[in-house]
Structure 1
Amino acid sequence: MASTPLVRTGGFVVHPATHARFDDVRTMVGPKNPASNVCWCLSHRIPAKDNRELAGPDRAAYVEGLTRRRTKPGVLAYDGDEVVGWAAVAPRADLPFARSTKIPHVDDQPVWSAWCIRVRPGHRGRGISHVLLEGAVAYAVQHGAPVVEGYPVDNRGEKVDLTMAYVGTRKLFEDAGFALAARTEATSAGFPRVVMRRPT
């Protein structure tokens, strides 16, 4: 499973979510109950109808299939050998965001989107979100992305409900060198979402 890390910083490393690391993907985004029809980080990866119809173990099988593709479904952060974080990143053209009526297209560049950042409970407050976002950008750059986008909440420093915090905050993206590119009609946890962009 050895590979060159995308990012190595602050004692953490970030690797692409390859098939060899599928158990770690399961740890980060798989539900506790394998028969559950939630998560697996599919709600913004596939059309809503497909997401509703994909049930239980079929969701795991779908994501396992994604890890076998040339372009992996995201990146994983590690503290030593322990997986501690996940970030989804992919070409926007391959995602429902490409057809979104609430999140605008800024231009016609073949942008990549980073839209879900999750830190494992017990490891929060250690800067892992920042490491994950850098890893997601590095992975996109490795695949020729001219620009990386995110769609975080503009919460102006207010506390964001943890269950909805996966979209990230404007400050997280600003700290990673992203700039405000557009406002959106989308919301999360009661806060407006914005388009943040970083040229590569």
Structure 2
Amino acid sequence: MTIIVRPATPERWDDVATVFGTRGNPSWCACQYFIDPEWNRGGEANMQSLREQVDSARPAPGLIAYQDGDPVGWIQVSPSSRFPRFKPRGHEPDDGVWAVTCFVVRVGHRGTGVATALLHGALDHARGHGASMIRARPSDTTVADKSNADLFTGILSTFAAAGFTELNRNRSRVLVELKLP
């Protein structure tokens, strides 16, 4: 299977909506937790906010993964200054320091390399827009089992395999970073 990753542009909105679906946590939160203090309103309001971000944010606020042409995943990645609720210990918001905050991989496509492809796409996207560093707060699944809903920030092993280093921990959540050349 071939996985390609593309920016979430207005022309690709229908693909973004397909990835988020109409049921479950992704369709309810729509990756608004780190952006919007009113994120808990959920559902249609959050999807509308996400659509407005895709329509207006430059660079694109996230990327879409396609597996054999089918939209199967999303990663939210932008300058960390866009995420007022991304406040792990040791991080200060900065336009040059980007953050990966959310992953969505459609059921039926998990465990097929989609998240890894999205992360590598995010690195290229951030680097291409002048980022000097990228940070994230994935879960260490070796410390505690997590449900799929709890893995929205990614899995530590995926970030470690991409060369990220650990800065600090809060139980199973780990602040990681990668300096970009």
What's the secondary structure of 2:59's corresponding residue?
coil
Pairing 1:27–2:21 present:
no
Does residue 129 of structure 2 align to residue 151 of structure 1? no
Contact 1:17 1:76 in 2 (8 A): yes
Match for residue 3 of structure 1? none
The answer to whether the Cα contact below 8 Å between 1:116 and 1:168 also exists between their aligned partners in 2 is yes
Deviation at 1:52, TM superposition (A): 3.0
Q: Which of 39, 46, 60 matches 2:36?
A: 46
Displacement of 1:56 in angstroms is: 4.3
Letter in structure 1 aligned against 2:130: G
Tell me by how many angstroms 1:60 deviates: 2.5
Amino acid at match of 1:61: Q
- The code of the aligned residue for 2:44 comes to P
Q: Which runs of 5+ in 2 are unaligned?
A: none
Once superposed, what is the RMSD of the aligned Cα atoms?
2.3
Structure label with greater radius of gyration: 1
- Identity percentage of aligned residues: 30
Number of residue equivalences: 177
Q: Does structure 1 residue 58 correspond to structure 2 residue 49?
A: no
Gaps of 5+ in 1: 1-9, 185-190
2:179 aligned residue: 199
Contact 2:98 2:133 in 1 (8 A): yes
1:31: Cα distance to partner? 3.1
Q: Deviations over 1:13-68 (max 9, x none)?
A: 000010111111111224339xxx82211112222xx2134x54333222111112
Distance, in Å, in 2 between the alignment partners of 1:56 and 1:155 is 28
- Equivalent of 1:126 in 112, 125, 141: 112
1:12 and 1:65 map into 2 onto residues whose CA distance is 26
- Between the aligned partners of 2:116 and 2:75, the Cα distance in structure 1 is 10
What TM-score, normalized by structure 1, do the two folds share?
0.79
Runs of 4+ in structure 1 deviating by more than 6 angstroms, as ranges, are none
Aligned position for 1:7: none
Residue 116 to residue 19, structure 1, CA distance change in 2 (3 Å): same
Q: Secondary structure at the match of 2:64?
A: strand
Cα deviation code 1:85-130 (max 9, x no counterpart): 11111111111245x3xx1134676311101112111111211111
Question: 1 CA distance for matches of 2:150 and 2:43?
Answer: 22
